[in-house]
A = this chain, B = another copy of it.
Amino acid sequence: MTSRIGILMFDEMEELDAVGPWEVLGYWTKYFPEDGYEIMNFSRDGGEVTCAKGLRIATQHSYTTVPDLDVIIYPGGFGTRGHLKDHTQLEWLRTQRSRVRVVASVCTGSLVLAAAGLLTNRRATTHWASIELLAELDPTIDVRPDDRYVDEGDVVTSAGVSAGIDMALHLVRRFTNDERARQVRRGIQYDPQPPV
């Protein structure tokens, strides 16, 4: 049976938060279907979202049409700010949490996880500029400002924006093995050399 990974999308989501993991997981699921995973994206209403830097991305499913998921990726971006006080969104996330195997956030997506109570007494991280807010949202969180990502089993959080690429490679490794993750890394030629 195929396991499904759903990448949540919403307005003012940070582009790379979502598309970094999409690329890693999309490469993996396309070239290694024998591993039994597939990816899809979805949004609350199933429509197009307008991201934080203006990119408009279509989604395949809404909250009601998306099939049962095994893994949810929750990106960050300014769009998460509204989610923090959106009781319908937080309740949806808590319900999903009880159904899926892993909820994994990128960047400030972890703020929403914290607001929904998913990080109580857990280690977690977020974008460096939101470290204090994460601690304020739930003082029981063991905040890890220096970690690229934190795997707590059923909940995984990562640092800002580009950290979602590293976290997604970690998930590939966790769901399969080191060799597969290296194949994906090689496929997207992820040998980063920041010029500054």
Contacts and interface: CB of A to CB of B under 8 A. Distances in A.
Interface of A: 14-16, 19-20, 22-23, 26-27, 30, 39, 41, 48, 52-58, 107, 127-128, 148, 159-163, 165-166, 169-170, 173, 178, 181-182, 185-196
A139 to B, nearest CB: 24
A192 B173 contact: no
Contacts of A192: 162, 165-166, 190, 192, 194
Given A22-B15, A55-B19, A55-B41, A161 B185 contact: no
B189 A160 contact: yes
Given A20-B16, A148-B191, A56 B58 contact: yes
A72 B14 CA distance: 22
Contacts of A57: 55-58
Number of copies: 2
A138 B157 CA distance: 46
Nearest to A24: B16
B166 A165 contact: no
14 contacts: A14-B23, A23-B161, A23-B162, A41-B55, A48-B58, A55-B57, A55-B58, A148-B191, A162-B188, A162-B190, A166-B194, A170-B195, A181-B195, A191-B194
A54 B41 CA distance: 10
Contacts of A170: 195
Contacts of A58: 48, 55-58
A30 B51 CA distance: 13
A123 B159 CA distance: 36
Contacts of A127: 189
A57 B51 CA distance: 11
Contact of A173 (B160, B181, B196): B196
A156 to B, nearest CB: 12
A181 B196 contact: yes
Given A30-B53, A178-B196, A181-B196, A189 B128 contact: yes
